[in-house]
Amino acid sequence: MAGGAGDTKKVLDMDTGSQKVLNMDTLNPCIINMEYSVRGPLVIRAREMQKELKEGKKFPFPYVIRCNIGDCHAMEQSYINFIRQVVASCTYPPLMDSAGFPPDVVAKAKRILEGCGGGSIGAYSDSSGIEIIRKDAAAYIKRRDGGIPANPDTIMLSSGASDGIKSILKLLKQGDGERKTGVMIPIPQYPLYSATLAEYNTMQIGYYLDEETNWSMHVSELKRAITEARAVCNPRAICVLNPGNPTGSVLTRQNIEDIVKFAHDEKLVILADEVYQDNIYAPDREFHSFKKVISEMGGEYAKQELASFHSVSKGYMGECGYRGGYCEYVNFHPEVVAMLRKSLTAKLCPSVSGQVAMDCVVGHPQPGDASYESWLKEKNAVLGTLKEKAKMTVEKLNSLPGIKCNIVQGAMYAFPRLFLPEKAIAKAKAEGKAADFMYAWELLEQKGLCVVPGSGFGQKEGTYHFRMTILPPPAKLEEFLRRLKDFHLEFMERYK
């Protein structure tokens, strides 16, 4: 007889988790271990507060300002018309006849649709992405690097740079024995790397950037990190973020050459996260791609295995939601390339709308095109405003006692150091919290400002930081910095 009291009790017991196939005892432990701090508990609380404000609950501030993540358009950054017009035309082709879009927009949309199955972006693409877009990416890389050729067959389009990074990291993993695969990542680092390495049961090998010299990289530190790591794991790759997230630093050409030599000597694959390559603000810095540097170094260095990544989510575009990116893999063994392509087939294809958006970045308007002048004006306006906000943020932060912030040379973030009173550190320790987490939590609750504590990115023992974006519009960023100043001065006085 079905549906009796015994059956009801069994369902209730199962709801407690004790009889579920998946519970906290049987769940993949790698998922339990992974953390992604830029969307952690502070962000969850910030969302709750936003809802409570809408429902009429009173706080000592009118709204929450979220500076926890590089989500450009959520921070009111303007979109680039050329990108939206091309994506719109590919999504709804009748617009090409009715919307009055410029002729180069129409020509690009028609060209992309010709490369799609059935002439529609609703069709799957090749697993590596639409061929004509990969060709455009290769042409873009060649222009960027001063004529050094790029092969569209060694470019894969991806659903954001993150997806491409994960595809390459999967290739590196070798078993789960006593000696795990190790991957070198900078500290502080973008939590995608630590989270993905935890998910893949791969060992994180942290190498510290030097805060005292504006987060520069020293080969001696790379050697220290890999020497210690070889005792417990098998290092196989080094990740480099240039420009840096969360530090805002930009590597010099010499830095990059040193990394290439180190990777060659230690037999490591280089993973170059270059998604902020358009975001350079310091007058004494410029972007050098790893692809160009290894090519110009020549000899054995020109054979260095490299995977480099770009994205439509950052730069002047900020189109995070489209999930578009690419990875160029250089000097990979042909059989490994075949295995990579095989692994991509299991994902069917990256977001086709994202591929279209990426094509608008790698195939942007050129002088003489109908959209060129407006595209250039919009691009320069975004980057110029970011440069001004980077300068303002650093100046305001450095005016506060107990805060020191390095120059934001590039990217979209400041990573100031907090010199917290011992009383505050002791209180946080008694509560089982990192001191910068406690600082960030009180900042959110008292002033409605959401940042990410430095402990979520990694930092030297005994130091405390937080990461904030410079993305809010100037007036809102000024308000953020005013609220921060009021909170910080009160916090330092309370715990002195």
476, 345: one domain: no
From the list 277, 243, 240, the residue with the least C-alpha distance to 406 is 243
Instruction: Looking at the structure, tell me whether residues 166 and 271 fall in a common domain.
Output: yes
> Domain holding 402: CATH number?
3.90.1150.10
Q: Are residues 297 and 392 in the same domain?
A: no
In this model, does residue 227 exceed pLDDT 90? yes
Residue 302 forms part of a structural domain: yes
- The pLDDT, as a whole number, for residue 319 is 92
Strand 155-158 to strand 464-469: parallel, antiparallel, or no bridges (unpaired)?
unpaired
Strands 417-418 and 403-404 come out as antiparallel
**Residue 84 within any structural domain of the chain:** no
Amino acid identity of residue 310, one-letter, is H
In a domain, 82, yes or no: no
In a domain, 381, yes or no: no
pTM: 0.89
pLDDT of 262 strictly over 90? yes
Classify residue 322: in a domain, yes or no. Answer: yes
Same domain, 291 and 157: yes
Same domain for 330 and 231: yes
| 304/350 same-domain check | yes
Please write the tens of the pLDDT for every residue from 446-481: 999 999 999 888 888 899 999 999 999 999 999 999
Range 121-145 average pLDDT = 93
Do residues 249 and 137 both lie within one domain? yes
Q: E strand or H helix at 273, and its extent?
A: strand 269-273
What CATH number has the domain bearing residue 180? 3.40.640.10
- Same domain, yes or no, for 132 and 60? no
Residues 240, 113, single domain; the answer is yes
Which of the listed residues 362, 394, 423 is the one where a domain comes to its end? 362
Q: Based on the domain organization, do 320 and 405 belong to the same domain? A: no
Provide the residue range defining the domain that includes 447.
40-69+386-495
Q: Work out the angle at residue 102's Cα, subtended by the Cα atoms of residues 123 and 387, and round it to the nearest 5 degrees.
A: 90
Local confidence band at 171 (pLDDT 50, 70, 90 cut-offs): confident
Q: pLDDT tens digit string along 327-369? A: 999 999 999 889 889 888 888 888 999 999 999 999 999 999 9
Exposure class string for 10-49: b at 16+ Cβ within 10 A, else e: eeeeeeeeeeeeeeeeeeeeeeeebebbbebebbeebeeb
Does residue 81 sit within a domain? no
- Of 319, 346, 362, the residue at which a domain comes to its end is 362
Task: State how many domains the chain has.
Answer: 2
Q: Is residue 112 part of a domain?
A: yes
Q: Do 179 and 213 sit in the same domain of this protein?
A: yes
Judge if 356 and 398 occupy the same domain: no
Say if residue 474 is preceded by a cis peptide, omega within 30 of 0: no
Asked whether residue 7 is assigned to any structural domain, the reply reads no
The answer on pLDDT for 88 being more than 80 is: yes
Q: How confident is the model at residue 32 (pLDDT cuts 50, 70, 90)?
A: low
User: Is residue 411 a contact partner of residue 348, using CB atoms and an 8 Å limit?
Assistant: no
